[in-house]
Amino acid sequence: MLTLAPRASKPQSPDLLAWYDRHRRSLPWRAEAGEVPDPYRVWLSEIMLQQTTVTAVKPFYLRFLERFPTVAALAEAPVDAVMQAWAGLGYYSRARNLHACAKAVVDKHAGAFPATEAELLALPGIGAYTAAAVAAIAFHEPAAAVDGNVERVVSRLFTVEEPLPKAKPLLRTLTLEMVPLDRPGDFAQALMDLGATICTPKRPACALCPWMAPCEARAQGSQELYPKKQKKLTGDLRRGAAFVVLRADDSILLRTRPTQGLLGGMVETPTSAWEPGYEPSRAMLDAPIEARWQRLPGLVRHVFTHFPLELTVFLAKVPRGTPEPGDMRWTLRRDLHEEALPGVMKKVLAHALGDGKPVRNGAAKPKPDQI
CA distance 116 to 365: 43
Cβ-based nearer residue to ligand SF4, 158 or 314: 158
Q: Say if residues 153 and 195 touch (Cβ distance below 8 Å).
A: yes
Instruction: Out of 32, 35, 46, 324, pick the active-site residue.
Output: 46
In sequence order, the β-bridge partners of residue 310 are 239, 301
What kind and span of H or E run contains 310?
Answer: strand 308-318
Q: Say if residues 103 and 74 touch (Cβ distance below 8 Å).
A: no
46 catalytic per annotation: yes
Phi-psi category of 221—alpha, beta or left, where left has phi over 0 and alpha has psi -120 to 50? left
CB burial string 54-92: b at 16+ within 10 A, e below: beebeebbeebbeebeebeebbebebebbbbbbbebbbb
Residues lying near ligand SF4 in the complex (CB under 6 A) = 153, 156-157, 198-199, 204, 206, 209, 211-212, 215, 217-218, 223
Phi-psi category of 265—alpha, beta or left, where left has phi over 0 and alpha has psi -120 to 50? left
In sequence order, the β-bridge partners of residue 268 are 255
For the chain, helix (H) and strand (E) counts, in that order, are 13, 7
CA distance 160 to 151: 10
**Cα-based angle 172, 178, 181 (whole degrees, multiple of 5):** 115
Closest approach of ligand SF4 to the CB of residue 264, in Å: 38
Cβ-based nearer residue to ligand SF4, 215 or 349: 215
CA distance 276 to 299: 15
Amino acid identity of residue 243, one-letter, is F
What kind and span of H or E run contains 242?
Answer: strand 238-247
- Mind telling me the catalytic residues? 46
